Structure 1
Amino acid sequence: MEFLTPGERVKKIRKMLKMKQRELQSENITRGFISMIEGNRTTMSRETASIIAEKFNKRAQELGIDLNIDGDYLLMTPAEEAEYYCIRKLNQITTIENLDELKGIFKIADEYKLKKVTALAYIKIGDVMYNNQNFQEAFINYHKALDILLLNDIKDQLPYVYNMLGASKAGLLEFSEAIMYFQKALEHAEEMNDIEIKIKASYNNALCYKCISKPAVSIDYIQKCLSVLDKEKDFEHYVYIKSIEANCYRDMKEYDKALEIFRGLVEEINDNNNPLLGFLYTNIGEVYMEKNDFEKSMEYFNEAEKIRRKEDKNLLSHTLIEKANLYIKMGLYKEARSLLEEGIEISYRNKDMEYIVKGSYLLVEVYKKLENKQAIIETYKKLANILQNMGNKKEALKVYIELTLLYIENNDMINAEYCLEKARAIVE
C-alpha cells in the first residue's frame, strides 16, 4: 500500500479527476504554485489546502464521484495517511473470518511506527474474540494492547481496554481478578471523564462483587452506576442494574425488599411482550423459590418461559435452568433433567459459560438422585472439554478432579490416570 506526501496526493487526485493545474488556480494560488506543491518543493497552508479540496469536491460531484475530502486530508503526511487508512480498515473488521486483513495493518503500523494503530489492531482481535465468547484469547490480545498503550503513554483507550480485560476475566468466571481490572477502568474513566466506561465498569464491578458473595459492596457500585446513568436514554441498562441490586437483597435474605424492586421494574414496562419481562419474571421466580413458595415460583417461571420462547430464545436457557432448579427442590428429577438438557444445549450454542457450568452441575445433581453414574461422567467430560476450549482452566481443573474420583470409584484406573494428566497439564 502506497501512502503519499501532500503534493503527491494533490497530483494524484487532480489526475484522477482529469483536471489541469490551472483549474486549481484562485486568488493567491497560481499555476506555478500548484506545480511547486505537486513537486514537493513547497508546502500548503491549511487555507490553501481547503480551497483545493473544495475544487476537487466540486469536480467530483460533477462527475458523479463520491469524494468528500477536506483540507486536513490533503495535508496528511504519509504516516498520517497510513494511520487514517488503517483505522478505516479496522472499523470494517467485525468477524473472525476477516481477521486475516489485520496482517497488512500490522505491517503498515510497523513500517510507519504507528504504535496506537498496533494497539487498536490488538483491541480489534480482542473484541472479535470476546464477541465469539473466546474470553481467554480476548484477554491475551487486550493485554497486548494494554502493554503498548502504557509503554507509549497513549491514554485515550485505557478505560476501554481495562474494562474489557475485566469483562474477559468475568467471562471466564474469574471474578476477583476481573474486579481489579474494572477498578483500573474506573480510575482511568474518571481521569478521561469517560461516562460510558464509568457506567459499564461500575455495573461490572457490582455484578462481580455479587458473584463473590459481597452484596453490600455490590450495592455501593450500583449506586455509583445509577448516579451517572440516564434512565430515560438507557432504560434496559437501568433494569439490569436495579436487578443486580434486587438480587443482592435476595442474597442477604431480604426477600421482600428484592420483590419490591423487581415488581417496581415490572410496573415500569408497559409492553406485555417486552423481553425484559422474561428476565424479570425469572428473577422473581428465583426469589419465591428461595422463600420456599414453590407455587408462586412456578407461576413466575412459567410466565418467563412463555415470553422467552416467543421473544427471547437466546436467553431461554437461563429460565429453563433456573426452573429446573425449582423442580430439583420439589424432588421432580425427571422433569428437571428434561429442562436442563434443553437449557444446556441452548447455552452451548450461545457459548454461555455461566449457564453451561451452572446447568451442568445441576444436571450432575439430578443424575446423582437418579443413580446414573455413567451420565454423570459423560456430563463432566463434555463440560471439561468446553471449559478447556474456552480457556477456563480453573473450572476445568475442578471437573477433571471430579472425573478422576469417579473413575477411581469405578476402579477404572486408565481413565483416572488420563484425567490426572489433563489436570496436571492445566496446573503446569
Structure 2
Amino acid sequence: MKFYSPSEKIKLMRKKFSINQADLESVNMTRAFISMMESGKRNVSKAGLQKLVSKFKELAMKNSITLDIDDEYFSRQPKEDARLYIEKELIRNNEHMELDKLTKIAIDFEIYDLLSKIYEMNAEKFLAENEFINAFINFNLALEKLQQTSVNSGQALLSKQLGVCKERLGEYIEAIYYFKQAIEYSLKESNTIIYFKSSRNLAIAYAKSAQYSSCIQTVDENILNSTIKASKEILIDARITKATALANLNDDNGLKEYLSLVDEVGDTNDLALSFLYNNISEFYYRKDDYKKSLEYANKAHVLKSKVNRVALPNTLNVKGKVFLKLGLVQEGTMMFDLAASIAEENKTFDMLLDNYKALISIYESKEDLKEVMKRFENLLLYKKSIL
C-alpha cells in the first residue's frame, strides 16, 4: 500500500483527470502557486487545500466520476493517511492475511498504538482458533508495542490474555506469573473487571497446579472479601474454584458448597451448572461412591455437550474411571478415547494427556504393546504439531 505526500497527491490527481495546472486556476490560486504546491515548495493553508478538493470534485462530477476524498485529503501527510487507512480497515472483520498487511504498514510508519491493536486482534483470532502459541506470540508483541506508546491502559488485559494462553497450554506456572502481572496492571489502571477476572484465573491456575492453599487464599482475599463487589458470574466462578480446592484437600465443605451452588444457580446458568455437576462427580469418585459419581457425570455430560464441549473431556474422563472401577473396561476405554479425540480437536493438551495416560494404563494391563506405542506416538506427534 502506497501513501503519498500532499504535493504527490495533487500531481497524481491532475494526471487522473488528464488536466494541466492551468485548469485548476481560480481566484487566489494561480498556475505558479499550483506549481509550487506540486513541487512541495509552498505551504498551503487548509482553506486553500479545501478549495482544491472542491475543484477536483467539480471536475469529477463533470466526468460522471465519484471522487471519494474529504476536505483534509490534500492536507494529510503519508503517515496520517496510513493511520486513517489502518483505523478504517480494523473496523472490518479482517482475517490473518489482511491483518499481516496492516502490520507491515504500521511498522513502516512506526504507528505503535495501532500496531499493538493489530497484534491484539490477530491474537484474539488465534485464541478463538485454539492456536494458543500463535495467540501468545501476538499478545506478547501487542504488549511490547503498547509499552512503547504513551497509552496508559490496556496492559492489564493483554497480560491476562497471555496468562489465558499459558493456562490453555497447560503451562500453569507461567500462567500464574502473567495473571499476577495482570492484577498489578489492573490496579494501576483502576480496571476492576480485569482485576476480578485475572484474580479468578489466577485461582484456577493455582488449583490446576495443585497449589490449593494459594487458590483458596486468592479467592478469599481478591474476590470474596474484596471491598469492591464482583459480578455475580465472577462470584459463582470464585466459589466453584474454592470448593474445588477444598474438595481436592478432602474437605467435605467442598461438596457442601457445590450442592449449595447447584440450588442457587438452578437452571439460570447451564455453563456453571455443568462445572458443578462435573466437580460433584469427581468428589463422589474420590469417595468411592461410583453410583453417585456416574449420576452427576451423566448430568454434566448432557449440559457440556450443549454449552461447553471444550471441557467435555474432563467429564468423559471421570465416567471412564467410574466404568473401570465397575469392571466395565470396554466402556471405560471408549470414554477415554472419545475424551482424547475431543481434547485433540480443541487443542487442550492437559485433557489430552490425562486421557492418553488412562488409555496407556489400560493397554499396558492388557500387555497390548502395539496400542501403547500408538498412543505414545500420537502424543508426541500432537506435541510436535503445536510447537
TM-score (norm 1): 0.70
For the residues of structure 2 that align with 1:294 and 1:82, how far apart are their CA atoms?
64
TM superposition shift of 1:165: 1.9
TM superposition shift of 1:206: 0.7
Aligned partner of 1:145 among 131, 142, 145 = 142
- SS class of match (2:231): coil
Deviations 1:183-232 (A, max 9, x none): 11111111111222212211121111112221121122223134356434
Question: How has the CA–CA distance of structure 1 residues 101 and 298 changed in structure 2, closer, same or farther, with 3 Å as cutoff?
Answer: same
Are the equivalent residues in 2 in contact too, given 1:198–1:225 (CA < 8 A)?
Answer: no
Deviations 1:315-347 (A, max 9, x none): 433311121122234443222101111222222
TM superposition shift of 1:130: 2.2
- SS class of match (1:213): coil
Question: How has the CA–CA distance of structure 1 residues 222 and 72 changed in structure 2, closer, same or farther, with 3 Å as cutoff?
Answer: farther
Are the equivalent residues in 2 in contact too, given 1:126–1:137 (CA < 8 A)?
Answer: yes
Using the TM superposition, name which of 115-124 and 374-383 deviates more: 115-124
Amino acid at match of 2:82: A
For the residues of structure 1 that align with 2:75 and 2:127, how far apart are their CA atoms?
37
TM superposition shift of 1:260: 1.7
- SS class of match (1:268): helix
Amino acid at match of 2:157: Y
TM superposition shift of 1:351: 2.1
For the residues of structure 1 that align with 2:372 and 2:285, how far apart are their CA atoms?
25
Q: Name the counterpart of 2:223.
A: 225
TM superposition shift of 1:311: 5.2
Question: How has the CA–CA distance of structure 1 residues 153 and 260 changed in structure 2, closer, same or farther, with 3 Å as cutoff?
Answer: same
For the residues of structure 2 that align with 1:281 and 1:81, how far apart are their CA atoms?
55
For the residues of structure 2 that align with 1:76 and 1:386, how far apart are their CA atoms?
51
Question: How has the CA–CA distance of structure 1 residues 271 and 108 changed in structure 2, closer, same or farther, with 3 Å as cutoff?
Answer: same
Q: Check if 1:205 corresponds to 2:188.
A: no
Amino acid at match of 2:180: Q
For the residues of structure 1 that align with 2:72 and 2:284, how far apart are their CA atoms?
62
Amino acid at match of 2:223: C
TM superposition shift of 1:78: 5.0
Question: How has the CA–CA distance of structure 1 residues 111 and 273 changed in structure 2, closer, same or farther, with 3 Å as cutoff?
Answer: closer
Q: Name the counterpart of 1:52.
A: none
- SS class of match (1:188): helix
TM superposition shift of 1:382: 0.8
TM superposition shift of 1:258: 0.9
TM superposition shift of 1:249: 0.4
Map of 1:360-399 to 2, 5 A cutoff? 360-391=356-387
Q: Name the counterpart of 2:102.
A: 105
For the residues of structure 2 that align with 1:273 and 1:112, how far apart are their CA atoms?
47
Question: How has the CA–CA distance of structure 1 residues 81 and 199 changed in structure 2, closer, same or farther, with 3 Å as cutoff?
Answer: farther
TM superposition shift of 1:363: 1.4
Amino acid at match of 2:87: I
For the residues of structure 2 that align with 1:286 and 1:262, how far apart are their CA atoms?
11
Q: Name the counterpart of 1:169.
A: 166
- SS class of match (1:319): helix
Are the equivalent residues in 2 in contact too, given 1:333–1:370 (CA < 8 A)?
Answer: no
Q: Name the counterpart of 2:116.
A: 119
Deviations 1:271-327 (A, max 9, x none): 289343222111111111112222211221122223334555444333111211222
For the residues of structure 1 that align with 2:187 and 2:73, how far apart are their CA atoms?
33
Q: Name the counterpart of 2:89.
A: 89
Are the equivalent residues in 2 in contact too, given 1:93–1:99 (CA < 8 A)?
Answer: no
Aligned partner of 1:327 among 323, 329, 333 = 323
Question: How has the CA–CA distance of structure 1 residues 265 and 77 changed in structure 2, closer, same or farther, with 3 Å as cutoff?
Answer: farther
Q: Name the counterpart of 2:180.
A: 183
For the residues of structure 2 that align with 1:204 and 1:275, how far apart are their CA atoms?
16
For the residues of structure 2 that align with 1:187 and 1:136, how far apart are their CA atoms?
24
Map of 1:234-273 to 2, 5 A cutoff? 235=233, 237-255=234-252, 257-271=253-267
Q: Name the counterpart of 2:125.
A: 128
Q: Name the counterpart of 2:193.
A: 196
Q: Check if 1:294 corresponds to 2:320.
A: no
TM superposition shift of 1:259: 1.3
Are the equivalent residues in 1 in contact too, given 2:79–2:109 (CA < 8 A)?
Answer: yes
Question: How has the CA–CA distance of structure 1 residues 74 and 164 changed in structure 2, closer, same or farther, with 3 Å as cutoff?
Answer: farther
For the residues of structure 1 that align with 2:183 and 2:80, how far apart are their CA atoms?
31
Question: How has the CA–CA distance of structure 1 residues 74 and 252 changed in structure 2, closer, same or farther, with 3 Å as cutoff?
Answer: farther
Segments of 5+ residues of structure 2 without an aligned counterpart are 10-26, 51-65
For the residues of structure 2 that align with 1:219 and 1:203, how far apart are their CA atoms?
11
Q: Name the counterpart of 2:79.
A: 79
- SS class of match (2:147): helix
Count of residues in correspondence between the two structures: 353
TM superposition shift of 1:80: 4.1
TM superposition shift of 1:156: 2.3
Question: How has the CA–CA distance of structure 1 residues 159 and 309 changed in structure 2, closer, same or farther, with 3 Å as cutoff?
Answer: closer
TM superposition shift of 1:106: 2.4
Using the TM superposition, name which of 264-273 and 373-382 deviates more: 264-273
For the residues of structure 1 that align with 2:256 and 2:84, how far apart are their CA atoms?
52
Q: Check if 1:279 corresponds to 2:281.
A: no
For the residues of structure 1 that align with 2:105 and 2:199, how far apart are their CA atoms?
37
CA RMSD for the aligned pairs? 3.9
For the residues of structure 2 that align with 1:229 and 1:90, how far apart are their CA atoms?
35
For the residues of structure 2 that align with 1:110 and 1:273, how far apart are their CA atoms?
44
Question: How has the CA–CA distance of structure 1 residues 143 and 369 changed in structure 2, closer, same or farther, with 3 Å as cutoff?
Answer: same
For the residues of structure 2 that align with 1:72 and 1:215, how far apart are their CA atoms?
60
Are the equivalent residues in 1 in contact too, given 2:112–2:148 (CA < 8 A)?
Answer: no
Amino acid at match of 1:357: L
Are the equivalent residues in 1 in contact too, given 2:281–2:292 (CA < 8 A)?
Answer: yes
- SS class of match (2:122): helix
TM superposition shift of 1:44: 5.9
TM superposition shift of 1:147: 2.9
